[in-house]
Amino acid sequence: MRTRTNTGRGRRVTALIAAAGKGTRLGAAIPKAFVTLRRRSLVERSTTAMITSGVVDEIIVLISPDMEAYAADLLDRRGLLRNGEVPVRLVHGGGERADSVWQGLQAIDDSEGVVLIHDSARALTPPGLVARVTRSVLAGNVGVIPVLPVADTIKRIDAPEGSTVAETPSRALLRAVQTPQGFDLATLREANRAYFAEDDPGFVATDDASLLEWRGHPVTCVPGDPMAFKVTTPLDMMLARTIVDEAEPTVFDVPGCGASEEAPEETRTGDGS
């Protein structure tokens, strides 16, 4: 049994794992969350990271209705539905990621807790990063995102299908955003409720933190981790397989994102498979 690190905080932490998408860019025959990475599916690895973080009280895996039986059987056979540490349950997601998250938020039996939103495709996310984001929310931040410095020069073009550069923003002010993203549950629920009440909110919420920004709430950045990359394309899968084969991923200190706090002992996610 792992030591709980949020004991005494008085707030329940629920993790929503988004696993309802099709993942067409990966080119797999099944939804991306269930593609295996060295004998363990992406959703299994993401769920395990939440369990071993020591800060999560409940996990809700958001799945498409047609994958419910498959997901339940898989997670049960792997010992995750009845892992003895953290309750895990399945909830039907929606047609889009934002719809799935909203369904998950409504399924949480709490009003004053903390919620983590995580992409199942970020399957090598170290448990230490989960703990880092959670601790920041428990410290009083209503929205927390893990970020990395941007290595490439970014150009803003003049139109979605355009070919003319309109601006070159400074990389010093740009960050690549990862998951899990952490939130005060009531604040994120209110932002989602307002978003879905609008016929045209004027923007597409590409991540959950953007909803808090839209509602005028501050969003705090904490150092991300290179291992929390998203498996989206076949090249990403090749990288993930190489990492699993060669070494167990651990938390890295990331320059330009603030000082990394010491990670708990359970930061390793590799299983030697």
CATH number at residue 76: 3.90.550.10
Look at residue 179 in the predicted model and tell me its pLDDT. 99
Q: Is residue 234 part of a domain?
A: yes
Q: Under 8 Å CB-to-CB from 165, ≥6 apart: which residues?
A: 155, 156, 157, 158
Q: Could you report the average pLDDT of every consecutive run of 10 residues in the chain (273 residues)? A: 55 97 68 92 97 98 95 95 94 94 96 96 98 98 98 94 94 97 98 95 92 98 98 94 77 50 36 40
Contact, 115 vs 105, CB < 8 A?
Answer: yes
Q: Is residue 6 part of a domain?
A: no
Look at residue 1 in the predicted model and tell me its pLDDT. 47
- Number of domains making up the chain: 1
- What is the greatest pairwise CA distance in the chain? 57
Look at residue 261 in the predicted model and tell me its pLDDT. 42
DSSP H or E run through 191: helix 185-197
Q: Is residue 166 part of a domain?
A: no
Look at residue 254 in the predicted model and tell me its pLDDT. 57
This prediction has a pTM of: 0.86
Q: Is residue 255 part of a domain?
A: no
Q: Residue 8, Cβ neighbours under 10 Å: how many?
A: 6
Phi, psi angles (nearest 5°) of residue 16: -100, 125
- Which residue type sits at 247? A
Q: Under 8 Å CB-to-CB from 162, ≥6 apart: which residues?
A: none
Q: Is residue 256 part of a domain?
A: no
* Domain hosting residue 42, numbered range: 13-144+177-247
Helix axes 97-107, 185-197, angle to 10 degrees: 130
Q: Is residue 273 part of a domain?
A: no
Q: Is residue 75 part of a domain?
A: yes
Rounded to whole angstroms, what are the CA distances from 59 to 51, 156, 261? 8, 38, 25
Look at residue 101 in the predicted model and tell me its pLDDT. 97
Look at residue 93 in the predicted model and tell me its pLDDT. 95
Contact, 55 vs 4, CB < 8 A?
Answer: yes
Q: Is residue 67 part of a domain?
A: yes
**Tokens of residue 168, six digits:** 């070159």
Q: What angle do CA 62, 81, 51 make, to 5 degrees?
A: 80
- Asked, as a colleague might, if the bond just before 180 is cis with ω within 30 of 0, I would say yes
* Pairing mode of beta strands 175-177, 58-63: unpaired
Residue 37: strand pairing partners:
40
List, in sequence order, every beta strand (DSSP E) within the chain: 13-18, 36-37, 40-41, 58-63, 88-92, 114-119, 143-149, 156-157, 165-167, 175-177, 181-184, 220-223
**Residue carrying structure tokens 């410095």:** 149
